[in-house]
Amino acid sequence: MVNIPSTEVNKGDQLEVYPEPLIILKKIDIPPCEVVFENKDFLAFIKPAGYTTAHPDPKVRTSFNLMKRWMQARDPQMTDIHFVNKIEKDASGIVLVAKNFKWRKYLQDEWATFRRRYYVLVDGDFSDSGVIRVKTGTKIQTEVNFPFRRMKSNGLYSLVRIDLEEGQKDMFDDELKGKGIPIVGNRFDRKKGDAYEHKAKHFFSIEIPDMDKKEVHLVKTPVPKAFLKLTR
């Protein structure tokens, strides 16, 4: 039984459509983490805040190990599975899983060229849109632009979208903090009783071209409900 809307159907595949729900879903049909995209080359799921993405020790409980076991239980012939990107334990968002080594290498090598977007929550009100210019580096400082747009604000908190430019790293928290824009829930600034118990940073969108560049896959997730709740 296939219950993932993005599953590709290829020429020659044999399909059987049930007129009514005759099959009761088993645990194997329900992934441990929400799947937001899947094709023959890679899968994307949402890692919740508070979960470790991956760890070299296979005995450590991680979101990748959970998803890998689920993928192999669903298809025992799928043995060549690799995680592509890590997300900080305290943050949430898209994690990619490659279904073969060739695609793992491609996704990791080209990662910085993909268009990536984040949602972050910051304290107080925030400008509507613009560019945050920060200087990075110690011996040789370079200026980096972080285009942003305020999506929602209630005066206490603001939901901000960060659009990473080509070549920029996903760890931009210190740069924002240096400009006086700390992300809500940062573990170094967190206080007892804070409204959000994790880091309010969510990797929500990535555009991935195929190797031949003929098609671009948009992998996207909704705004976390906790972020929307705090900006109502």
Mean pLDDT of 206-213: 94
pLDDT for position 147? 82
Q: Which domains does the chain have, with CATH numbers?
A: 1-109 (3.30.70), 114-232 (3.30.2350.10)
pLDDT for position 24? 42
pLDDT for position 102? 97
| pTM of the predicted model as reported, rounded to 2 decimal places | 0.80
Q: Is pLDDT at 134 greater than 80 in this prediction?
A: no
Q: Is pLDDT at 26 greater than 60 in this prediction?
A: no
pLDDT for position 32? 92
Spatial CA neighbour of 196 closest among 182, 178, 206: 182
Give the integer Cα–Cα distance in Å for 78 and 166: 33
Spatial CA neighbour of 199 closest among 208, 210, 187: 187
Q: Which residues contact 231 (CB under 8 A, 6 or more apart)?
A: 121, 152, 153, 154, 157, 158, 159
The model's confidence at residue 3, banded by pLDDT at 50, 70 and 90, is low
Sign of CA dihedral 156, 174, 53, 31: positive
Q: Is pLDDT at 123 greater than 60 in this prediction?
A: yes
Q: Which residues contact 59 (CB under 8 A, 6 or more apart)?
A: none
pLDDT tens digit sequence for 163-183: 987 888 888 887 777 777 788
Which one-letter DSSP state was computed for residue 164?
E
Q: How many CB atoms lie within 10 A of CB 52?
A: 16
Q: How many CB atoms lie within 10 A of CB 175?
A: 18
